[in-house]
Amino acid sequence: MKISGSYTIRAPRQAVWDRLIDPQAIAGCLPGVEKLNQVGQDEYEMSMTVGIGPVRGTYEGKVRLANMNPPDEYQMQVEGSGRPGFVRGTGTVRLADGPNSTTQITYEGDVEVGGPVAGVAQRMLGGVAKRLVEQFFSCIEKQITSS
């Protein structure tokens, strides 16, 4: 399943970049994250509890940041599995300066959902993926503005 979109954060590019590669900041803005441990250079293990439609479950997974090109672009690879199934995805996040010291974020990615959750998740996610991503960026934005 392909997802793509853009979001504008009212903060300068470097500040946004710093947050977007900061594991604690990410963990704080992803729903249901229960732990996030660094296990290597730009590689993290996490566990999160997510409900997709009627199927709720805990996923254990890995997040890897790659092709880091600060403060312009990086790739994120996510892999998680749990009783309801698994999620795998890769995405590219690009940052560009916007007007009035804002940052334009564009993202595109490909997500695969498998296992028992696949049927439900794909239909649900199709509709809500964009909103979830926007929630994430808006949370990051709040972190920056409140600090």
Partner 1 sequence: MAVTKLFGASVKRREDPRLITGRGNFTDHIRLPGTLFMALKRSPHAHARIVRVDVSKARAMPGVVAVYTGQDLVDKLAPVPCAWLIPNSDLKVPSYRALAVDKVRYVGDAVAAVVAENRYVAEDALEAIDVEYEVLPAIVDQEQATQDGAPQLYDDVPNNIAFHWKLHAGDFDSAWNQAEVKLSRRLINHRLIPTAMEPRGALAHYNPGTGDLTIWCTSQNPHVHRLLLSAVTGIPETRIRVIATDVGGGFGSKIPMYSGEMLASAISRDLGRPIKWFESRRENYVATTHGRDHIQYVDLAATREGKVTGIRVKSYANLGAYLSTASPGVPTWLFGLMLCGAYAIPAVHVDVFGVVTNTTPTDAYRGAGRPEATYLLERMMDLLARELGMDPADIRRKNFVPKEQFPYTTATGLQYDSGNYEATLDRALELVNYQQLRREQEELRAQGRYLGIGFSTYVEVCGLAPSAAAGAMGFQGGLWESATVRVHPSGKVSVFTGSNPHGQGEETTFAQIVADELGISIDDVEIVHGDTEMIPFGMGTYGSRSLAVGGTAVIMATRKVKEKATKIAAHLLEVAPEDVTFENGRFFVKGAPDRAKTFQEVAGAAYLAWSMPEGVTPGLEETHFHDPINNTFPFGCHICVAEVDADTGKVSFRKYVAVDDVGNVVNPMIVDGQVHGGIAQGLAQAVYEYAAYDENGQLLTATLMDYAVPKASMLPRFDVDRTVTPTPVNPMGAKGAGETGTIASTPAVANAIIDALSPFGIDHLDIPLTPERIWRAVQERRG
Residues at the interface with partner 1 (CB under 8 A): 1, 81, 83, 85-86, 88, 112-116, 118-120, 122-123
DSSP state of 115: S
> Which residue has 């997040």 as its token pair?
63
Smallest gap from Cβ 64 to partner 1, in A, equals 15
Please, which residue, 88 or 94, has the CB nearer to partner 1?
A: 88
Please, which residue, 5 or 115, has the CB nearer to partner 1?
A: 115
Please, which residue, 95 or 121, has the CB nearer to partner 1?
A: 121
Q: How far apart are CA 58 and CA 117, in angstroms?
A: 12
Please, which residue, 81 or 143, has the CB nearer to partner 1?
A: 81
Smallest gap from Cβ 11 to partner 1, in A, equals 36
Smallest gap from Cβ 81 to partner 1, in A, equals 7
- The per-residue b/e assignment along 128-140, b for 16 or more CB within 10 angstroms, e otherwise, is ebeeebeebbebb
Please, which residue, 31 or 116, has the CB nearer to partner 1?
A: 116
Cα dihedral across residues 56, 62, 66, 68: positive or negative: positive
Smallest gap from Cβ 58 to partner 1, in A, equals 11
- The per-residue b/e assignment along 88-124, b for 16 or more CB within 10 angstroms, e otherwise, is ebbbbbebeeeeeebbbbebebebebebebbebbeeb
Smallest gap from Cβ 61 to partner 1, in A, equals 13
